[in-house]
Every structure is written in structure tokens, then in C-alpha cells.
Amino acid sequence: MNGGTNVWSLSGFLLGEYMNLIDSVAHTNPTNYKGIMGLGEQVSSDLFLPDGVFSLWSRDAADPVQSATFPATNMYGTHPMYMAKATDNTWFGVYTNLAAAQDWFVTNDATTGDVSLKSMAVGGVGDIFFMFGATPDAVVTQYHTIVGKPVLTPQWALGWHQCKWGYTDLDMLKQVVQNYTDNILPFNTMWSDIDYMNNYEDFTFDPVNFAGLGDWVNTIKAQNISYVPIIDAGIAQRNGGTYEPYNDGVTNDVFIKTSTGDIFTGKVWPDDAAYPDFFNPATSVWWSKWLADFQSKVAFDGVWLDMNEASNFCNGVCYDSQLASSPVKDQLMYTPTGRDLETKSMALDAVHMGGVTELDAHSLFGTMELKATHDYF
């Protein structure tokens, strides 16, 4: 209730191992009926959600236009929050603080304004927060007091940026910047995709094709042009090699493990890759160390955090030797999204510090990586 206005009703719930089911009804204004908006991250032509199912489970998705059917066309972000106009013309929001894989079944009744919401998740006990306000902005402001406020965007980030995969050497970057100058076009920031890396290894640059990258970045910064390189979530796993960020990570025990305690191996651009465990405080120290080392060579202004769903070119484990004896995905009573949750992701049995499994932590990876990077800056 918000004052004397009924905005939300709980019809029933069920909590158990690998299951969290909540039946509820959002009571919205039937006049010029719109229903609810939210449950991001979804790509749709309409802010308000039609009848159908909406899935939340971070994944690297190409062309993810929402179909509200299975298999889900969800994408990177997981925000189980929705909002609507109440019958008294005020606004309300409902946030379920639950990171587990989840489906939301939405059924609209335009006559009464009631929106039936059934959420089915693979576990977890999530708090439910209610927010009220005279406007949508007032509700969103309250949402940010719960999940955290956004940082102030730096001025340089608000200008014109250029980014493209396929700039294969430094001369191409130089030509791009020069073309803006020659055509008297405003230009603020140059980005680099994975082409600049040495063998797709984070915190490095190709010593041949991008020789002199650091000096060139200093040159464009003198012209008030900023620089942003990509940093991928998967760290090249060079066992027995000379790639120091990986070796240092092994020494400091910062990588996500298999159920048997080995370093979990996925595959991304460098082939075999390990993933930082940002639930471990030591990982943020290691992350900052190597960002600082790279920034001392290439004076970047920001970093592009990529592939942090976290993406994996394998579906779960890449090697049978890392397969759990009794995979958790075979024990789920219900599988959200209408597809294998391990598709292009780590195995659900992968283990973070404190025994937290990937089943529970998957959709938090990007947030945790972002926090560690923010703390570095």
C-alpha cells in the first residue's frame, strides 16, 4: 500500500534448493493503460512490457531484440526492477535484489490495470524493495539509493568518440585522427579494440604493429584527445610462459576455480583463459597493479571493459577433466531463459572465493569488475 492506494499484492511464493518462485500482481492505472516498464536489460521498441516472458541472465548477445518468448533474447545487464503508474497517478517501483538466473512471466489486464507477475529463479533469497514517488524520476532516484549512484560523467566522455575493430596497426589509428583534423571535424576520444594487444593478452600492446603506441597517445593527449583501450575479462592462460599478469595472478590465487580446486579454463580471444575472481579482495589489488603497469606505458584515460558476462567460447567447461562429477545444471528443477545457462559462459559449478558458485555469481561479474576498476581510478 502507498497511503490508501494498493499498488502490489503477493499471491504466493516458494523457496527451495535451486528454486525461488514469487507470484505477485502490480496494480497500475487502467486509464490510457500502459502497464509496467523495466526488467532490464531488454531491447524493445516499447518501454512497456507486453505479455510474455522476460529473462535475466547476463550473456554476450548479438542482435538481442526482445521477443518475449523462449529462447530469451536477453543481453548483458541484469536489473530485476520494474515501475508503473498507480491508480492515484503517482508512481511506484519494485526491485527484487536477486542475481540468480530468472524468468519473469508478464500478463497484462488492460481493463483493470492489473499486471500479473510470476518470477521463477534458480535459487537465492532476495530482498524486495518498494519505491514511491510523484514522478518516474523520483522512483529512479530511490532505486539509485539502493543499488548505488552513478558517477559524474567526465567532460571528455561526452564528446565524439571513434571506435572500430580492425584497426590493425598504429598507422591506421594515426590516419583516423588525422582525417578528423583534415576535415575540420570535432573529435574527442580514440578507442582501441583487441587489435592493439600482443597475442590478445590484457595489459600489453603489440610491440611490432603498435610500436610507439605510448608516445603517440601522449601526442594526441596534448591535443586534448583522450584514449581508451579495451580490456577483456578473460586473462590469457599461459602456463609455464612469461606472461607476467597471469603468472602473478596464479601466485596470488586470484582466479575462479573449478569444483575440484583447479583454475577454471575458458576460451576467448587468447584461446585458453582464466577469469579473475573479484569476490577475492586480493584480486582488486592484482587488477590495480596491472592496470597501473599498463597505464605507465600507455596513458589511457579510461578502459573499455569487455566480455564481462563473463564470456566463454565454450559452453561451460572446455576440457572434460574440469567437468564436475555431478553438474549442478543437471539438478535444476527449472532452467530460465529456455536455453542451457552455460551457453557461451562459465560452468555453473565454477567456484568463487567463499564457496560462491557461478550459478549464484554469474550476473554479478561485470558489476564486480567495474567496482575494482573504479577503485583503481
Catalytic sites, residue numbers: 306, 309
Q: In one letter, which amino acid is 212?
A: G
- Name the one residue in this structure whose C-alpha cell is 573504479: 374
Residues 298/326, Cβ–Cβ less than 8 Å: no
Residue 341 falls in which region: left (phi positive, over 0), alpha (psi -120 to 50) or beta? alpha
Taking Cα atoms as reference points, which of 346, 339, 343, 341 lies closest to residue 317? 346
Tell me the residue ranges of DSSP E strands in the chain: 8-16, 19-27, 37-40, 52-56, 79-85, 91-97, 102-108, 114-121, 127-133, 161-162, 189-192, 226-232, 235-236, 266-268, 271-274, 304-306
**Residue 349, H or E segment:** none
Element (H, E) at 233: none
- Cis peptide, bond prior to residue 281, ω within 30 of zero: no
Residue 101 class from Cβ within 10 Å (0-12 exposed, 13-18 middle, 19+ buried)?
A: buried
Pairwise CA distance, residues 208 & 81, whole Å: 48
As a whole number of angstroms, the distance between CA 102 and CA 81 comes to 12
Nearest to 348 by CA among 283, 264, 263: 264
Residues present in the chain in total:
377
